Amino acid sequence: MASNSSSSTAQQRLRIIAGHLQKRPEDEHPSVAAQECKAETSRSNPSSATPVPKRRQEIMKWNGWGYSDSRFLFNKKGQAEFTGKRYRLSGLILPSLKDWFEGTFGANLQHKSPATPTVNLSAVAPPDLNEPFVEDLKAAGVAMSHDPEDRVFRAHGHCLHEIFALREGRIGRVPDMVVWPSCHKDVEKIVELACKHNVCLIPYGGGTSVSSALECPREETRSIVSLDTSQMNRILWIDEKNLTAHVEAGIIGQDLERQLNECGYCTGHEPDSMEFSSLGGWVATRASGMKKNIYGNIEELVVHIKMVTPRGVIEKSCLGPRMSTGPDIHHFILGSEGTLGVVTEVTLKIRPIPEYQKYGSVVFPNFQQGVACLREVARQRCAPASIRLMDNEQFQFGHALKPQVSSIFTSFLDGLKKFYITKFKGFDPHHLCVATLLFEGDRGKVLQHEKQVYDIAAKFGGLAAGEDNGQRGYMLTFVIAYLRDLGMDYYVIGESFETSVPWDRVLDLCRNVKERIVRECKERGVQFPPLSTCRVTQTYDAGACVYFYFAFNYRGLSDPVHVYEQVEHAAREEILANGGSLSHHHGVGKLRKEWMKESVSSVGLGMLKSVKEYVDPQNVFGNRNLL
Amino acid sequence: MASRALYSPRHPMLKKRDSFEDILEERRHSSDLRYALRCYTPTLYKGLVPCKASMLKSIVLQSDHLQYVIKQVSSESGDSTECVAEEASLILDEMAHRLQLSTVRFFVFTLSKAFKRLFRSVCVNEEGIQRLQQAVQEHPVVLLPSHRSYMDFLMMSYLLYMYDLPLPVIAAGMDFMSMKFVGEMLRMSGAFFIRRSFGGDKLYWAVFSEYVKTMLRNGYAPIEFFLEGTRSRTCKSLTPKTGLLNIVMEPFFKGELFDVNLVPVSISYERILEESLYARELLGIPKPKESTSGLLKARRVLSEDYGSMYVYFGHPVSVRSLTEGKITRSQYNLLPRCIPQKPSADTHEFLNDTAFRLVRIQEGNMVLKPWVLIATLLLQNPDGMDLSSLAEQTDWLRHLALAFGAFLDWPDHAACSEVISCSLALHRHLLSVSAGHVQLSVTDAPQVETTPEEAVFHQAVVVLSCASYRNQILHVFLRPALLAVAMQSANSNRKDDVYNCFNFLRNMFSSEFILCPGDSVQDFEEACYLLMKRGVLQVLEHEIVMSASGHSTLAFLSSVLDPFLQGYQVVSRYLCEETNENLTEKEFIPAVRNFALKLILAGRLKCYEALSSDLQKNALAAFLRLKAVMKVKVGDQVTLKVNKIAVNSLEDTLGKSDVISHQNSWWSSMAMFEIAI
């Protein structure tokens, strides 16, 4: 017995030592990480996955989308190419983009509208610092900066008017300083001091807002402090029994997914902005991911949220999967858009990485048939991880982004496919549209599922159009944001916006909003018909999410941004008049505030206001979003 | 843009109208047959969903809306859904048009012949046609012609065929169906038939509204209907109905269409085919039965000269721009769109307002011939006029009418006397001219002895026929005339007092004339503006003062309304003096007519227009609206309960504006004034 027990103790010891040796330098290991709040050392290690440095401008554009090394341009031969090495499209030539671009917008490569190359630092107002606050913060050891570049970077999201102004070198009100908390405790300290010294805090996650949520309110007279959560980016623990992970809210989507993948898990939450957007941002805007059909939207993914408010920390007492304890307090936090506090830690559901993934695509003779098919798929509740339907304009746009084909054989095959669809099947190339699909799960089930969906599609005249088209469709969602910057180099401005709408109104809403855009542009003197296109990006039991892209050539307009804003405003009015919602996942921010009362009734708005009043009577979280 | 056109304050002098082309010109020089058989390739709506008439039926029957109502009716009545669906299908069969190009071609051929015989010219504003061609491509179109004659919709289809525009489907009253053959012919040329009243019949309403909406949504064909609901027997525009207007607007309200274009069309006739028929109808003289004798009469109709006809296609009015800021479309968000929804109060108000404005556009684009001015003058001078003074006064009136924005077609280079003699010739059957003296009178006097009653009716036919021409210009004079009368009855120069009287009269006459509800301030201001511009009035801050030269114009304007004031007084006197407890609604018209007839025979009333059932009906409607008379349902009969005190006081107020004493004095006063200067 004794020897027995001693040998088992020895083995146990060995295991523990082995465990220590195997331990990776990253601090995601549950037991240790929780205590290592101030572990600056581990973070300074360049091999650790922290692609979001404090000085973001070192790797990201200060006046455009994404990484500095990745951008579209027209080379000397007039061919479009995508620079860098990060994406599948990187380094490739896109031969048909120029013709599409010129043909669609009436643009001309001779007519350039280049951006100001560097930040004009003299245009940045000197910081209005609240000295006692700064002193106290220093004492607490929180990282901070009032470098103009840091401040400018955090004064905007990616609305058209924000980027347009930066490109022209115009800089409005910017935060007076930036602070980088590294853990929940830091945030508590910052919020406490902010209340004490009455400064305005604006939480900043990934900076991908498209609702003017990050704009500093003009009327704000206090010192504005941007609270950048990017350094709170650790997975604190993973609970394999319950399939949950506890994560700091500053982590950005791609890091979260990559790190979970390394452990064999994923959240499955993939909004189009997931390269840059943060967990806290998702919670604060009620984000939606491409694969929500399997994994759910953010509100279905969160199990527990911790938020620091001026009143203190709000959180639930347990990790129960569902509770009946009055209105769900999570729903005060979800979508609060930084008006109530800072989300610091979130417990999320996780799933094992799916065994098998398969892309697919279906071509429909027209948009109506496509929508009818998506509706049927939703009715049968057999939507794949993702199913998206592009209209004809977007289908053509997608074609314009096809890279140069490497072999004659591929181009021959493409020709043959086109012939089959347009001539043999009689699809009108000016009406046909395409749905892209993504299936996930175990292999057998995926194949079965795939068949079911293609069978439904066939009933609506849909023809399977291959994995490639599907995969390219999804890849494009990541590069499309880069394309706007290219357009802006040549007098073309544009943006996307979204809504959700009951099934029976999808077609009417799409048609009316697209037409309204065309008409408003014409009435406001836009010389060339705009690109006005849409796609259905999510299906639900009772409706769908619809995404609009809208862009136009602004040559000849004295105030293009104003025209743009008027048209977008009109488009939103049209959406609301056609039974669409104010937003499906972008949020309200300051851009869509004026419609809040109409959207949620004045009692509803009053409820939200009274929560704000209780939680933050001083309006420390003074970004003035939402309400 | 369109909505601005509809709501802009009127500046009559600035109103620009298109010029006309005579479409018969070409018809007189080339083969009608070849024309009827020519290749017809209409401009189409860009969002057209191609569909045959037979498919249309199944789309309607399968529609969510109709299916919903079928289920609802079935559960309420206990009949099986199949049974109700069958009923719906029968209703649709009874209703649906069967537009056939061959029938249209037949009509084109015969109508070409007929039009050439009837009319000297048929004039169309081709700019309006071009606008329509544009509009037809962009959005579904609703054609809203005025309705004065059976000719109207034949002419509309004829014109649309002629200009390669899509042929309309036309909402027609069921009464046509009594003429079996004609009904079917019309059906094949695009008419669809609706029952005159189907108040509570949910299923009928659902079939009907879905049928119209389906055609509109699919861009099947322009929908044509008459806002006024029926032919106006008096040539005054009728108070518009809003039911069909709501149906054609709903697809826009519910987001099913981006927009709908409403095109008001004004059809005016120099001489109306049904002229004396209408007068007889108004006097309650029974129509000759539709029979061979009718056909013979029709032949006589064909042999007469009806002068010119004018069709003016107005600017397309976009429903979208009309509703801007007036209708919140999101009110339709919370109910599935297939569930029928009664228009909300604000929608209802909007529909009503729009309908009135559209009718006013129709009025404004009606062409007025010189005869209209002459008829106005002759009616004010029952004892006749000398040709020379007729010429003088017509010329004066012409300038007044033009100043008020009348769309007057006065020959360019003709002397006034020449114009007058042409007009008199065309309408000679209403006149007697002898020794330079013109008088309205019965020309084809019957051979046999007539009773005094019959003589009165014969004269009344002439007067009412003539009045139907004067009525065409009433909309031009109406507002200033109301102001003129208000000034007389107010007995005060205070603007407030005058306005109150104006408002009272406006309320009184709101069934009689097209007066947009809620526009009383604008109307008042418009009247002031017109009369001020004409130098008749000075409008000060708190006072309205007549200028020295204004009397004659005011007197003329008051006389314009005189027959109506007198007529309403006759009705109120009848209600006070003659009625007992059991006056039924049905008896009302014949009884008032008898009362008026007695007054005329006794020499106490000179106003023949008081015999018009239209006026009597409108007067009753006014008293009902002002709650001086109540409808009470007793058994299955509706009786009228008269509040004699209220009627009496209304009569008194009307009496204050009684201008009998001023009648005919306006011209002499002007003459005197002219002598004075």
A vs B: CB pairs below 8 A = 25
Q: Secondary structure of chain A: what % helix, strand, coil (to 5)? A: 40, 20, 40
Would the CB atoms of A578 and B328 count as touching at under 8 Å?
A: no
Task: Answer for the pair B469, B235: CB distance below 8 angstroms, yes or no.
Answer: yes
- CATH for the stretch B59-271+306-363: 3.40.1130.10
DSSP A368-408: HHHHHHHHHHHHTT---SEEEEE-HHHHHHHHHTPPPPS-H
- Answer whether B163 touches A (CB < 8 Å): no
Residue with tokens 């620079």: A83
Three-state DSSP class for residue A508: helix
> Nearest to residue A430, comparing CAs of A399, A405, A454, A468?
A399
Residue with tokens 């998702």: A282
> Nearest to residue B260, comparing CAs of B242, B246, B248, B275?
B248
pLDDT per residue as tens digits for the range A560-590: 999 999 999 999 999 999 999 999 999 999 9
Give the residue ranges of the annotated binding site of A: 203-209, 285-288, 337-343, 484
Fold match between domain B59-271+306-363 and domain B368-444: no
The Cα A25–Cα A30 span in angstroms is 13
Domain ranges within chain B, ordered by starting residue: 59-271+306-363, 368-444, 560-654
Residues in chain A: 627
A 10 A CB-CB count for B284 gives 13
Pick the CATH number of A56-105 from 3.30.43.10, 1.10.357.10, 3.30.465.10, 3.30.160.650: 3.30.160.650
Mean pLDDT of A531-541: 96
- Answer whether B324 touches A (CB < 8 Å): no
The Cα A299–Cα A288 span in angstroms is 9
DSSP A296-342: --HHHHEEEEEEEETTEEE--SS--S---SSS-THHHHTT-TTSS-E
Task: Answer for the pair B230, B171: CB distance below 8 angstroms, yes or no.
Answer: no
Rounded to a whole number, what is the distance in Å from the CA of B242 to chain A's nearest CA?
A: 23
> Nearest to residue A544, comparing CAs of A301, A385, A375?
A375
Would residue A359 show up in a list of annotated catalytic residues for this protein? no
Would the CB atoms of B328 and A509 count as touching at under 8 Å?
A: no
Fold match between domain A235-352 and domain A356-475: no
DSSP A516-581: HHHHHHHHTT-SSPPEEEEEEEEE-SSEEEEEEEEEEE-TT-S-HHHHHHHHHHHHHHHHHHTT--
Task: Answer for the pair B647, B572: CB distance below 8 angstroms, yes or no.
Answer: yes
Contacts B337 to A, Cβ<8 Å? 504-505
Task: Answer for the pair B481, B564: CB distance below 8 angstroms, yes or no.
Answer: no
The Cα A118–Cα B499 span in angstroms is 69
What pLDDT score does B448 carry? 64
What pLDDT score does A26 carry? 44
> Nearest to residue B63, comparing CAs of B246, B250, B214, B255?
B214
> Nearest to residue B158, comparing CAs of B119, B212, B207, B213?
B119
What pLDDT score does A14 carry? 56
Which of B330, B339, B347 is the best mutation test for A, with the most CBs of A within 10 A? B330
- Say yes or no: domain A235-352 is CATH 3.30.465.10: yes
Contacts B329 to A, Cβ<8 Å? 577-578
Pick the CATH number of A491-586 from 3.30.1330.30, 2.40.110.20, 3.30.300.330, 3.20.180.10: 3.30.300.330
Which of A511, A517, A522 is the best mutation test for B, with the most CBs of B within 10 A? A511
Pick the CATH number of B368-444 from 2.60.40, 3.40.50, 1.10.10, 1.10.150: 1.10.10
CATH class of the domain comprising B560-654: mainly alpha
Would the CB atoms of A577 and B328 count as touching at under 8 Å?
A: yes
Would the CB atoms of B330 and A509 count as touching at under 8 Å?
A: no
pLDDT per residue as tens digits for the range A81-127: 999 998 888 999 999 999 999 999 999 999 999 999 998 888 899 99
Nearest C-alpha in B relative to A518: B258
What pLDDT score does A259 carry? 96
A 10 A CB-CB count for A103 gives 12
CA distances from B628 to A126, A278, B631 (A): 78, 73, 10
Domain ranges within chain A, ordered by starting residue: 56-105, 121-229, 235-352, 356-475, 491-586
- CATH for the stretch A356-475: 3.30.70.3450
Reported ipTM: the value is 0.86
- Answer whether A598 touches B (CB < 8 Å): yes
Nearest C-alpha in A relative to B328: A577
Q: Enumerate residue ranges in chain B where pLDDT < 70.
A: 1-15, 176-178, 287-301, 443-449, 657-677
- Answer whether B341 touches A (CB < 8 Å): no
Residue A335 CB partners (closer than 8 Å, separation 6+): A284, A285, A286, A587, A626
> Nearest to residue B37, comparing CAs of B111, B114, B98, B109?
B109
- A524: tokens are 């406001």
CA distances from A491 to A113, A318, A482, A549 (A): 6, 54, 15, 17
> Nearest to residue A255, comparing CAs of A289, A232, A228, A239?
A232
- Answer whether A428 touches B (CB < 8 Å): no
Task: Answer for the pair A111, A556: CB distance below 8 angstroms, yes or no.
Answer: no
Of A63-77, A404-418, B635-649, the one with minimum mean pLDDT is A404-418
pLDDT band at A47 (very low <50, low <70, confident <90, very high): very low
- A95: tokens are 């031969």
Residue B554 CB partners (closer than 8 Å, separation 6+): B484, B487, B488, B531, B536, B546, B666
Of B254, B330, B337, the CB nearest to A576: B330
Give the residue ranges of the annotated binding site of A for FAD: 203-209, 285-288, 337-343
Burial of B677 (0-12, 13-18, 19+ CB in 10 A): exposed
Residue A226 CB partners (closer than 8 Å, separation 6+): A151, A154, A155, A175, A177, A178, A179, A202, A204
Contacts A579 to B, Cβ<8 Å? 255, 330, 332-333
What pLDDT score does A398 carry? 85
Task: Answer for the pair A279, A247: CB distance below 8 angstroms, yes or no.
Answer: yes
pTM: 0.89
Give just the sign of the alpha carbon dihedral A300, A302, A306, A309. negative
pLDDT band at A15 (very low <50, low <70, confident <90, very high): low
Asked if the model's pLDDT at residue A30 lies above 70, the reply is no
DSSP A144-177: EE--HHHHHHTS--S-HHHHHHHHTT------SE
> Nearest to residue A392, comparing CAs of A415, A412, A422, A416?
A422
Which of A499, A512, A569, A599 is the best mutation test for B, with the most CBs of B within 10 A? A512
User: What are the b/e assignments for B567-601, b being 16+ CB within 10 Å?
Assistant: bbbbbbbbbbeebeeebeeeebeebbbebbbebbe
